[in-house]
Amino acid sequence: MFIRTGLLAIAQLALATQLVSAAQVWDLSLEYQPNSLPGETSRVFAEKLSELSGGAITVKIHYGAALGFKSVDQFDAVGDGALKIASSFMPTWSGIDPLFLISTLPLLAQSPEDAARLYSAVKPAMSNVLDKSNQVMLFVTPWPNNGIWAKKAIDDKASLKDLRVRTFDPNGTLTFRAAGAAPIQLSWADVLAQLSTGGIDAVLTSADGGGAAKLWELLSHYTEVPYASPWQMVHMNKGIFGKLSDQEKAWVRKAADEAERHGWKAVTVRVEHNYAEMRKHGMTVIDKPNDAAVATLSKAGAELIKRWEQTVGPAGKEAIARYRGNKN
């Protein structure tokens, strides 16, 4: 009796030791602040995964590019295994595949509903690109639509002329240049330094991103422009994901699905919250886009979309066709 009891205790101790040794900690790299929407959705993912796994998998989020990686770096870093997992601003991957610029094609998807339809149309193609690069696409969430943070209202063609505005991808750079501005493409981690030193006069970003960085400390006006709703992707090294048990993979997928649903739902709520916070800090918020400014950007962007369709390949063209077909 005592022998059996002793053996049972030893077996239980061995099992507990295995469970402890099997506990995993994943460092998730993120270029943005904790109070940004990507910061929020990353926490939803991490908390849900910890809950589902009973603490066996912990995701430790490193905000503000603390690990030394910007979004543009993270595609290769995750594929090579330097990072296990990351949350990346997809438009910075334009040099990897022009497909990743689809969410920032100027004025193509002007509402959260349009952005969701566009994502549905292109999701299989994006997942395939990640798969071929030794990565797994876990989930994608949108940023709120962009606007222009500046020291004045950007409400007509004249106000765009020679404006040194930060853009975040080639789409924005080419569109704003064609509209008469003097755009400078910058990673988010470089924006505050350039603003502080006078390298740029304005910033193309969402109310969410600018608010999280407290851009109201340097700029006074925000002009809403239905320019684009860029996407953020959480992606993981394929080899590490492949070594997970079927149960662990199911936990990761379920947590990712919940985070994705949260992100797409939260984007519409956060806009009004952001505007209220900006006004509280003395910002002038122009939330009804000026028709003339929109027309100027739309005309400049139409030609860019045509050029993008010529370079993106069949997968991108098919995604656009599906999106336009579903929209009509």
* pLDDT of 18: 46
Residue 184 pairs in a beta bridge with 166
* pLDDT of 13: 45
pLDDT in tens, 136-151: 999 999 998 889 999 9
Instruction: Look up tokens 């390298």; give the residue.
Output: 199
Which tokens is 181 given? 């501005």
Q: How far apart are CA 143 and CA 269, in angstroms?
A: 12
Which amino acid, residue 2? F
What one-character-per-residue DSSP string does 230-291 give?
A: -EEEEEEEHHHHHTS-HHHHHHHHHHHHHHHHHHHHHHHHHHHHHHHHHHHTT-EEE-S--H
Q: How far apart are CA 226 and CA 40, in angstroms?
A: 23
Integer-rounded Cα Rg, in Å, for the chain is 22
> What are φ and ψ of residue 101, in 5° steps?
-90, 0
Which amino acid, residue 67? L
* For the chain, domain boundaries: 23-327
Listed as ranges, residues in the chain with pLDDT below 50 are: 2-3, 5-7, 9-11, 13-21
Q: Is the pTM of this model over 0.75?
A: yes
**Could you tell me the fold of the domain covering 23-327?**
D-Maltodextrin-Binding Protein; domain 2 (3.40.190)
Helix (H) / strand (E) element for 308: namely helix 291-311
